[in-house]
Structure 1
Amino acid sequence: MSELSFLFQRLSWQSALDIFLVTLIFFAVLWVVRDTQAQVLLRGVVFLIIVLSLFTSLVSLPAFSWLVRTTLPTLVLAIPVIFAPEIRRALEKLGRAGSGSLFWGQSKSQVQQIQESIRKIVTACARLSARQHGALIVLSRRDSLEEYLRTGVRLNADVSTELLLQIFYPNTPLHDGAVIVKGDKIIAASSVMPLSASGTLTRSPDRQMGLRHRAALGISEASDAIAVVVSEETGSISITHGGRMIRRLDSERLENILLAFYRPTEPENIPFFKSISQLVGRILPRGKPEDRR
């Protein structure tokens, strides 16, 4: 107790800030690698460092201690290389924060065209689901998908239910891969999407999720795009965004979710500012309504 009281006596606001910053960095690292294969790797690295540190401190082994002291700095320098994809995704998310509303600078007619395209996509997904025809439709938002457009066949056609049904009809030349939609245009078909490296699908009790679902999760992890996937085995409809998947959707729920993503927002309702206001609201006491007047 005397040692603890001595520590608290030496604790200043600078020490508290120092501890808070270090804790925040560790929390950010764990938050970035959650639900990924890197989480298991990081757990193994931390466990190895702890075991080696305890072993060298408890047993007097000069040669082994020298080897550990020599190799540990190299391991620390190798961590950014090992976790490069996760660090890249975290920086991309940070760069997208507060980038503005999706509809800034667009006219009301353009917004209505996009919403009408969403209804056509939903109708096509419902009909594909009833026929159990697999499909993957990627809806572009702010991030550029040019590198994935180059892997497919350029169409630049108006969005229509009939065209989507024809593209994803089994054994047609364009049914493999993803359709990329931007605004009211089908930009490309048969595009190759990046596969997800997270463990979301491996932990799922279902076994009906194959490459289409991994590709849908992958493009949602690599960009802010929204992917709609129809399972070929079960006909179920799923949607992915930000590395998360919502499954077993009907046409009504799918349309409501897509329209919510593409609904015009005011500057004060941008997610970045909204998250800040929520954080401030949690820190500051709310009080009664009459106290806030």
Structure 2
Amino acid sequence: MGFVPFTFIDLIDIILVAAIMYWIYRTTKGTNAPYIITGIIVIYLLWVVVKTLNMELLSSILGQFISVGVIALIIVFQPELRRFLQMIGMRQKGFNFITRIFSAGSNVPATNAAPIVCACTEMAETMTGALIVIGQQSDLRLITEGGIAVDARISTPLLKNLFFKNSPLHDGAVVIEGDRIVAAKCILPVTQSAVPKAYGTRHRAAIGMSEISDAIILVVSEETGGISIAHAGELRRDIAPEKLQQTLQRYLNINTRRRKDKEVAE
């Protein structure tokens, strides 16, 4: 019997599989996923041994378990799979026409940055923690439905009151869409990426939210009073208050230009 020829395509196949396995390891590092995957591998190896030894009853039981393994994996890894697919969709700029189809007809007013900047600056001076999500084109209903509906026009006093330490709505994120504060006390997905240990829960949540949407997320640190902005999976920390208006407006202008380009294309 001769050896099976090893081709260049086989080499590419091995490299791609190795890259995927490494990506899965990096993505699931620090979660319970590696333990679950290890358990699945152990069960599969046990099934192979049982099958080899012709243990019909045990082989049948394990075979039934493995046959529904794909469905079980989808259920167990549902949050990770959703985050993974969202991240892929966010990065495929060539397929933005799909997003345009589903967002057609939506006419959201532009967000006024001034009251948001003023509120963040004043909260930074008093060391009041804050987490503000400024929605763009991504649908944030899954986030807002988990919070408390507000539906009020953006204003500096309202934002400060929402994040006041004794306020029942201060814990969580405020979501802004257009010129309205849509909801408060919203729970954001925390990033699974490797970030510095100095990052607190708000900063991790801001990065996580920016990884799955095109939203702009503002963070005011309760410990240092520093102001940060997260967008497209990146966090810009310790923005000087005098430069906050300019920085935030630049992010908003980028998304405004994209909306105008979409309207022209339509």
Letter in 1 for 2:130: A
Q: Which runs of 5+ in 1 are unaligned?
A: 271-293
Return the match for 1:141 from 136, 145, 149: 136
Q: 1:221 to 1:186 in 2, by over 3 A?
A: same
Return the match for 2:151 from 149, 155, 166: 155
- 2:122 paired with 1:127: yes
**Sequence identity, in percent?**
28
Structure 2 counterpart SS, 1:89:
helix
* Deviation of 1:168 (Å): 2.6
* Deviation of 1:130 (Å): 1.6
- 2:74 paired with 1:84: no
Q: 1:142 to 1:38 in 2, by over 3 A?
A: farther
Conserved in 2, the CA contact under 8 Å of 1:168 and 1:174?
Answer: yes
Q: Distance in 2 between matches of 1:48 and 1:221?
A: 33
Q: 1:51 to 1:229 in 2, by over 3 A?
A: same
Letter in 2 for 1:134: G
2:24 aligned partner: 30
Letter in 1 for 2:156: T
Q: Distance in 1 between matches of 2:66 and 2:106?
A: 54
Return the match for 2:241 from 227, 235, 251: 251
Conserved in 1, the CA contact under 8 Å of 2:174 and 2:186?
Answer: no
Q: Distance in 1 between matches of 2:129 and 2:140?
A: 22
- 2:210 paired with 1:220: yes
CA deviation profile, 1:239-286 (whole Å, cap 9, x unmatched)? 33455544333335654553343224469x99xxxxxxxxxxxxxxxx
Equivalent residue runs for 1:45-56 within 5 Å? 45=39, 48=42, 56=49
Conserved in 2, the CA contact under 8 Å of 1:217 and 1:245?
Answer: yes
1:198 aligned partner: 192
CA deviation profile, 1:113-142 (whole Å, cap 9, x unmatched)? 53xx22442332222112101111110111
- The alignment's TM-score, normalised by the length of structure 2, stands at 0.66
- The alignment's TM-score, normalised by the length of structure 1, stands at 0.61
Q: Which runs of 5+ in 2 are unaligned?
A: none
Q: Distance in 1 between matches of 2:250 and 2:45?
A: 50
Return the match for 1:261 from 246, 251, 258: 251
Aligned residues: 246
Conserved in 2, the CA contact under 8 Å of 1:137 and 1:180?
Answer: yes
Structure 2 counterpart SS, 1:175:
coil
Q: 1:249 to 1:48 in 2, by over 3 A?
A: farther
CA deviation profile, 1:140-195 (whole Å, cap 9, x unmatched)? 111222344343242331x3434433433332454343222222x13235332234
Conserved in 1, the CA contact under 8 Å of 2:228 and 2:238?
Answer: yes
Q: Distance in 1 between matches of 2:216 and 2:25?
A: 22
- 2:203 paired with 1:209: no
Conserved in 1, the CA contact under 8 Å of 2:128 and 2:164?
Answer: yes
Structure 2 counterpart SS, 1:262:
helix
Equivalent residue runs for 1:176-191 within 5 Å? 176-183=171-178, 185-191=179-185
Structure 2 counterpart SS, 1:126:
helix
- 2:159 paired with 1:167: no
Q: 1:89 to 1:195 in 2, by over 3 A?
A: closer
Return the match for 2:34 from 14, 30, 40: 40
Conserved in 2, the CA contact under 8 Å of 1:193 and 1:216?
Answer: no
Q: Distance in 1 between matches of 2:24 and 2:135?
A: 29
